[in-house]
C-alpha cells in the first residue's frame, strides 16, 4: 500500500504536463542542470488532417501573440526544427537569421504519434528562450495544412496560448488516469 502510493508520487513527479484542448499532451522534465526534455503526444486525427504542428514558448511578461516566440516546428511527420517568429506570421528557421539549431535528439514514434526532443536550458541563442525550471511561460500551439511543401497559415480555431509553469509538478487539464 505504502509502496504503491510512493510509486504513484514518483511517477507524477517525473514530469510536468499540460493537456491541450486539441487533444495533445505536452510533457517536460529536467534530466540535469543544462537540459530540458520534452514529449509531445499528438493524436491520429492531427496526423491525418494536418500537415504541420507548432509549439511556441514566450516569457510570461511578454506581449501575447506569435511575435518573438521560440517555435519548435514539426512538418508531419518529419523531425522538428528550431524556429523563431519575428512577427505574427510564419516563423523562420533560427539558422536562416544567424541563430543555431538547438533541438537535441529529436525522435518520432509513429505507433504512439509521439515526438520527443531535448533543448538546452540556456542555448545562448537570442532566438531561443531560456527554459528556467519553475518559471512561468506562455505556451503557444498551432497546426495547419501544407500546400505542396509550403506550410499554410493556421485557422483561428487551430491555435491558442495557455499559461504554464516549467515545473515537474505542473499538471493542467489532463483527465486523471485510472
For residues 47 and 38, give the distance between their C-alpha atoms in angstroms, rounded to a whole number: 19
What is the closest distance, in whole angstroms, from the C-beta atom of residue 134 to ligand NAG in the complex? 4
Size of the site for ligand NAG (CB under 6 A): 4
Tell me which residues in 100-159 interact with ligand NAG (CB under 6 A): 133-134
What is the closest distance, in whole angstroms, from the C-beta atom of residue 19 to ligand NAG in the complex? 21
Indicate which single residue of 167, 170, 171, 172 sits in contact with ligand NAG (rule: CB under 6 A).
167
What is the closest distance, in whole angstroms, from the C-beta atom of residue 158 to ligand NAG in the complex? 33
Nearer to ligand NAG, 29 or 167 (CB): 167
What is the closest distance, in whole angstroms, from the C-beta atom of residue 169 to ligand NAG in the complex? 6
Give the three cell numbers for residue 143.
497546426
Closest of 83, 73, 167, 65 to residue 125, by C-alpha: 83
Q: Is 3 exposed, middle or buried (0-12, 13-18, 19+ CB in 10 A)?
A: exposed
Nearer to ligand NAG, 100 or 167 (CB): 167
DSSP 14-59: H-EEEE-TTS-EEEEE-SSSSEEEEEEE--HHHHHH-SEEEEEEEE
Give the three cell numbers for residue 129.
528562450
Residue 29 contacts ligand NAG per CB under 6 A: no
What is the closest distance, in whole angstroms, from the C-beta atom of residue 8 to ligand NAG in the complex? 17
Question: Which positions touch ligand NAG (CB under 6 A)?
Answer: 133-134, 167, 169
Amino acid at each position: 500500500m505504502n509502496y504503491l502510493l510512493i510509486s504513484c508520487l514518483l511517477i507524477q513527479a517525473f514530469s510536468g504536463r499540460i493537456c491541450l484542448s486539441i487533444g495533445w499532451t505536452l510533457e517536460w522534465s529536467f534530466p540535469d542542470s543544462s537540459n530540458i526534455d520534452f514529449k509531445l503526444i499528438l493524436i491520429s486525427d492531427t496526423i491525418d488532417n494536418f500537415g504541420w504542428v507548432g509549439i511556441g514558448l514566450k516569457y510570461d511578461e511578454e506581449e501575447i501573440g506569435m511575435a518573438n516566440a521560440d517555435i519548435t516546428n514539426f512538418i508531419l511527420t518529419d523531425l522538428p526544427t528550431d524556429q523563431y517568429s519575428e512577427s505574427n506570421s510564419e516563423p523562420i528557421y533560427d539558422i536562416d537569421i544567424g541563430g543555431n539549431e538547438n533541438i537535441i535528439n529529436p525522435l518520432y514514434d509513429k505507433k504512439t504519434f509521439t515526438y520527443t526532443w531535448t533543448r538546452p536550458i540556456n542555448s545562448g541563442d537570442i532566438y531561443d528562450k531560456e527554459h528556467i525550471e519553475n518559471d512561468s511561460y506562455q505556451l503557444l500551439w498551432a497546426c495547419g495544412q501544407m500546400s505542396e511543401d509550403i506550410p499554410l497559415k493556421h485557422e483561428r480555431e487551430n491555435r491558442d496560448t495557455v499559461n504554464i509553469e516549467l515545473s515537474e509538478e505542473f499538471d493542467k487539464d489532463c483527465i486523471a488516469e485510472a
